[in-house]
Chains A and B, each alone.
Chain A
Amino acid sequence: MSMMIRTTRALLLVLGGLAIAPGVSAQTPTLDDVMARHLQALGGRDKIEALKTVTKKGIYVYNGLEFPLVAYHARVAKSREEIVGLSHWATKPRPGITVVRAVDGEKAWMSGHERAMEPTLLATEETADAILIADFDGPLLDSGAASARLELIGRVTDEGEDLFQIRVVRASGTTEDVYVSAVNHLIRRRNLIAKEGAARGGFQKPQVIHYDDYRVVAGVRLPFSIQVDEALFSREYRFETMEANSSLADTLFVPPADVKPPAPRQ
């Protein structure tokens, strides 16, 4: 569905370096056009649907340190990251410790972290965010993980790039803006609001996730570089290999039987 905002103003608004052309010109494609090109750029519907799991290996870069990383992803919204030696704020490596962060589509949990050494469920708000990020097909394709309405806000120039800004409005009420390259029609970034659980203050944190270095994996273009920016930190996933359609046991994603409840409010 295409919901365009029309205006006759030609004024360019410059907000923090983001040049926004309000109003979608006659040359601007419709949302359907953008989505069709996006789908094609990814590799096509058939290739996407044939992709059932991805196992990614690489490094996690945080505060100048590199940590070995393995990430598992499966439909519809299952994800697990294993980051070796990661410490809170990545001050120094923690030899012999692996941080696990996982979501099985319904429950999110973690272990090996200073604030959750034993397997511990995440709070409701953090679980909702984890499910969104784990959505196998991403924010624009309807994989069934999260029902959403898309709205083409316009064509913008940001950081020298020509981008389509698409707003994703979910049934849950959450929204995010997704920026798709007008050149290669792949997602370049997502602007969303991450929420911390009440025990951690219940803060809402603007988060920008950048995608780069797309390569073809089993016929589908996937980003091998992902940078997550928040006000206080930035971290990066640099993947070296991705393996498609390995058999991944559900136990990778499902919380262990002895998982602890979310930490109470402190």
Chain B
Amino acid sequence: MKAGAADTARGWFQYRGPSRDGISVEIGLTKAFGPAGPKTLWRTPIGPGFSAVSVVGDRLYTMHAEGAQEYAVCLDAATGKKIWSTAVGAIFNNEYGDGPRSTPTIEGDKAFVHGSQGRLAALKIADGSVLWQVELRQTFESELPTWAFTSAPLLIGDLVIIESGGKGARAVAAFDKKTGALRWASHEDQIVYSSPLPIEFNGKQQIVVMTKREVIGLDLKGQRLWGFPFAADGTIKPAPPVFVAPDLVFVSASYGIGAKVARLLADGDTITAQPVWEGLQMKNHFNGSVAIGNHLYGFDTATLKCIEASTGKTLWAKRGLGKGSLIVANGMLIILGETGELVLAEATHEAYRELARASVLEGRSWTQPTLWQGRLYLRNHTELVSLDLRG
């Protein structure tokens, strides 16, 4: 039993990395740098957006806004120069930051992108041309969510799965990767700005989805396998679920909601989710926690914490990084503070041990880092930077 869809050879090809869990298997990274930070490989201006960077081969993919439009963009990973740009819908304006929220997912010759206004599209990665596109609001008669469409496309088999927000039992939808044809829609509930998580449990691939009332597991046909309630009044829960192998599902949200862990239990083909604990010790706001063994590292709103997944016990806390984000690689937490500080710290539950710190971006920096082949990609609303973390 393990987290699903791991494919480290393909690159950091989707939201939260190869396994969608915030973990990189890269080693040999530097563990020290001075106040000037690691070597900057390049910096390039970028329009507003919270979309993270995906990397495959020598190309980067992300999304941003320019003028009245949102765009998916492809950049040269070595130089940051733009290769192509494709409009993916009208700009979403918000006083905290305009532009797209979702992160592209790359597979084969296609990039799957999801604009803030609800356009799901498959683009040809060679030139950005549109292979197919679906307007979710028209397809599902849904309204623009208050904080826009945010879900990062999940690819499993021949499906593209998205939290679509459709009316009726259509909160989650799966489309044919090649054609964009709707394959199924499932679950009646309001979406909460989260993204689906693939897991494997009881010998079956499943999709974990968090909606307003509950957290559910679906099979690859959209059939409900299990579920458990989580903060039924909470309408904003962007942080994705985290699978803590072999059998725990962790979910968390801010705005005073907190966290909950449930244990999946299998009895033949029947799976149930048994509550383990819930509490206020971890309130992920935008970005998800990362699990290393039985320990979860994440931002309790504006406090970086390590908690024990099976008990909820807080093992350490570190303040001063705001509502940051993090990934894990090479035994380190690679942290981006919300005002642009890059911090390396040991990935240990024993204590917070900082290794290096430097200011690398200016302004609100709520987008999580991307790491591929020793290059770290960070962005905010004005700039995208590539830093050299190779040791």
- Please report A residues at the B interface, Cβ cutoff 8 Å: 14-19, 61, 63-66, 91-92, 158-160, 210, 212-213, 225, 227, 229, 231-234, 236, 238
CB-based contact A227/B303 at 8 Å: yes
- Chain A to chain B: the 5 pairs with minimum beta-carbon distance, closest first: A64-B364, A17-B314, A234-B302, A231-B256, A17-B281
Q: Which residue of A lies closest to B281 (CB)?
A: A17
Q: Which residue of A lies closest to B258 (CB)?
A: A16
Contact among B315, B319, B366 for A227, CB-based, below 8 A? B319
Q: How large is the interface on B (under 10, 10 to 19, 20 to 34, 35 or more residues)?
A: 20 to 34
Shortest C-beta distance, A174 to chain B (Å), equals 22
Interface residues of B in 307-342 (CB under 8 A from A): 307, 311-317, 319-320, 322-323, 338-339
The docked-state distance in angstroms from the alpha carbon of A234 to that of B351 is 23
CB-based contact A159/B317 at 8 Å: yes
Residue B305, interface by CB 8 Å: yes
What are 28 pairs between A and B in contact, CB < 8 Å? A16-B281, A17-B313, A17-B314, A18-B314, A61-B322, A61-B338, A61-B339, A63-B96, A63-B338, A63-B364, A64-B339, A65-B339, A65-B364, A92-B95, A158-B314, A159-B314, A159-B317, A160-B315, A160-B351, A213-B320, A227-B303, A229-B303, A231-B256, A232-B255, A233-B301, A234-B303, A234-B322, A236-B320
Contact among A64, A91, A229 for B338, CB-based, below 8 A? A64
Residue B275, interface by CB 8 Å: no
Residue B28, interface by CB 8 Å: no
Point out the residues of chain A lying under 8 angstroms from B279, CB to CB: 15-17
Residue B365, interface by CB 8 Å: yes
The docked-state distance in angstroms from the alpha carbon of A61 to that of B364 is 10
CB-based contact B301/A14 at 8 Å: no
The docked-state distance in angstroms from the alpha carbon of A140 to that of B323 is 30
Tell whether A91 pairs with B95 under 8 Å between CB atoms, given A17-B312, A65-B364: yes
- Please report B residues at the A interface, Cβ cutoff 8 Å: 95-96, 255-256, 279-281, 301-303, 305, 307, 311-317, 319-320, 322-323, 338-339, 351, 363-366
Point out the residues of chain B lying under 8 angstroms from A15, CB to CB: 279
Q: Is the interface of A mostly helix, strand, loop or mixed?
A: strand
CB-based contact A19/B319 at 8 Å: no
Tell whether A225 pairs with B320 under 8 Å between CB atoms, given A16-B281, A231-B255, A232-B256: yes
Point out the residues of chain B lying under 8 angstroms from A14, CB to CB: 311-313
CB-based contact B301/A234 at 8 Å: yes
Point out the residues of chain B lying under 8 angstroms from A65, CB to CB: 339, 363-364
The docked-state distance in angstroms from the alpha carbon of A159 to that of B301 is 15
Q: Which residue of A lies closest to B283 (CB)?
A: A231
Point out the residues of chain A lying under 8 angstroms from B363, CB to CB: 64-65
Most buried by B among A64, A158, A213, A234: A64
CB-based contact B316/A64 at 8 Å: no
The docked-state distance in angstroms from the alpha carbon of A94 to that of B302 is 23
Point out the residues of chain B lying under 8 angstroms from A66, CB to CB: 339
Tell whether A159 pairs with B322 under 8 Å between CB atoms, given A16-B312, A64-B363, A92-B95: no
The docked-state distance in angstroms from the alpha carbon of A5 to that of B385 is 56
Contact among A158, A233, A238 for B320, CB-based, below 8 A? A238
Point out the residues of chain B lying under 8 angstroms from A91, CB to CB: 95-96
Tell whether A64 pairs with B323 under 8 Å between CB atoms, given A16-B279, A229-B301: yes
Shortest C-beta distance, B296 to chain A (Å), equals 12
Shortest C-beta distance, B276 to chain A (Å), equals 13
Shortest C-beta distance, A17 to chain B (Å), equals 3
CB-based contact B305/A159 at 8 Å: yes
The docked-state distance in angstroms from the alpha carbon of A40 to that of B197 is 52
Point out the residues of chain B lying under 8 angstroms from A92, CB to CB: 95
The docked-state distance in angstroms from the alpha carbon of A91 to that of B381 is 13
Shortest C-beta distance, B363 to chain A (Å), equals 7
The docked-state distance in angstroms from the alpha carbon of A159 to that of B322 is 17
Point out the residues of chain B lying under 8 angstroms from A227, CB to CB: 302-303, 319-320
Q: Which residue of A lies closest to B279 (CB)?
A: A16
Point out the residues of chain B lying under 8 angstroms from A160, CB to CB: 314-317, 351
CB-based contact B281/A225 at 8 Å: no
Point out the residues of chain A lying under 8 angstroms from B314, CB to CB: 17-18, 158-160
The docked-state distance in angstroms from the alpha carbon of A61 to that of B301 is 14
The docked-state distance in angstroms from the alpha carbon of A91 to that of B93 is 12
CB-based contact B364/A236 at 8 Å: no
The docked-state distance in angstroms from the alpha carbon of A39 to that of B110 is 65
Point out the residues of chain A lying under 8 angstroms from B255, CB to CB: 231-232
